[in-house]
Amino acid sequence: MTIALSAPRFPRAPRRALPASLLLGSALLAGCGGSESDADADSSGADDAAASGCTTALTVTYPDGTSVDLDEAQAVELADGGAFTVYVGDYEIPTADITTATVMPPAGSHQATVYLTPLGSLSDAEPIAAGTTVPYTTEPDTLTFSVVLLGDAGMANQATEGSGEVTVTEVGDELCLEVDYRDAEKSASGTISAPVNASAY
């Protein structure tokens, strides 16, 4: 049995309520047309992440048994670092409309969405620090994570039962994660290196 997670609303003024179409409040300020120095900084950040061993190499298994390797990622920072939504795909994750719409994979592509979030209000969430190990749990008011799969191989939402953990190895311009998760329908295992995009929420 699976259940879909609804989008929480963040009460802290003056922040706006998240659009209902976004899963778990996944909102992101899209980066538009940066300067050449911005591009150099982004390239340097990616090089630093690779040098530290932080790469995107996530293998997911769908309910029908299809196994897919995902190697592109973007992260959305929420609640001043108290939560993250991480999109991982086998295609370049778009950012143009990510502030107003949920990212969906195009035809023929696959995507995992990893949510790192407290089960409860984000208003008092502490920033997630490097070195944090986040267990899968359904306990209220506890930092946890969930994995949703989308793509031609089907859809697998949040499960009522699962096991595993996510280890946060780096937080900054890049979010680096080690993921080990499985439930009765799906699994996800590997590493994620995602540029961090600060949201307005």
Can you give the pLDDT at residue 20? 34
pTM (whole model) above 0.85: no
Can you give the pLDDT at residue 70? 98
Cα dist. 102→11, 19, 53, 108 in Å?
21, 9, 29, 18
DSSP conformation letters of 99-164: TTS---PPTT-EEEEEEEEESS-STTPPPPPTT-EEE----TT-EEEEEEEEETT--B--BSSEEE
Can you give the pLDDT at residue 127? 95
Averaged in consecutive runs of 10 residues, what is the pLDDT profile of the chain (201 residues)?
A: 39 38 34 39 49 85 96 94 95 80 89 94 90 94 95 82 96 96 96 89 75
Residues found in the chain:
201
